[in-house]
Structure 1
């Protein structure tokens, strides 16, 4: 085999985010609307046969070699080969051009991993039944990864992996993404939130984007993140001051 495939890996934003309860597996039940944006990474995967045994995985980000088995793209390759029992010897070289900020809540790492799964699925010629197993592989990588296999707008619940496509949910307004360079630890944010047991609020009833729903698109993390990083609240207020419909 000798195959080289390049894919865009788009970022996503959350239109509203409600944290409902903590689960027995220590994850949290949430509800949100995932929406793709044009900002994207680009990943190229080159696959070639070699005479040794097993897979040789090589991964670079913006020209920097990454030796980390916990990297989501590396994990995607390993889990893919394991799930589909691919035992032939291959060199798999991945080159990532990274544009989505790390730790910004835009799903960059998850999107990159999903793009790798799509590329491998095509390169190894998975049939339709096998492709149905990709969601299982994606979820082992991370809660957001199944969404990026789907793409387009979707209502997400449970850990974020239960998805209902929203084909009519389209935002015609320009979308401005501001990155103040602040990284908020997700586990810490959940800890500060202090979760109660709640039922889904209103996002599960929304099928299209409309300004009449703006007051429904609340983000539960704002109250704790704004307290710790008031500069983020100021950015939101400034955006509204200059005419943002939703921020």
Structure 2
């Protein structure tokens, strides 16, 4: 089996310090002290058989799914994967693993922002940490404040601004906006998460571009623009 890369370990150590992820993936369970965490895209082979395309391009096959119950398989779903590596190789895959837990990542399409949808999409404050492109997805690590009331849902979207206030098009970059609607929820506690957005909607527009510019209404600094460079294949 291919030796696990350091990024998996570093990824787990960094993200397991976040309270919201600890509640979803309880790696502190002493039963699995050696478990690792990765992000990938679930791909269905046929029937109930599936694998994960990891963000570095490697493939992970779950030979042992004993601990996974009542999980709905959705082709193309982005997922946090908690796992234990197995020693036996699986031909065609870099990693052969035993799954411990799966936690879905918010996975959405990019949508248009119009005069009619401005209010419903919202523009409440939200912080952005890391942004990266993996395969056909733009991934955004984010943080916002909430009341910790399970009945209060927040909404996140990545939009193409088509209103009269849209920025002028640029030659080298596609302009997008990361929008948050808190639905008037009280801002008491911070929460952390990752959202993944399919780039299919703008695939044609990305031809010949250097990357993306993402406008965000941040919590502390107001409007900020983040630049994400495209991964050019040599």
Q: Which has the higher strand share?
A: 2
What TM-score does the superposition give when structure 2 sets the normalisation length? Answer: 0.29
What TM-score does the superposition give when structure 1 sets the normalisation length? Answer: 0.28
Bigger relative CO (Cα 8 Å, ≥ 6 apart): 1
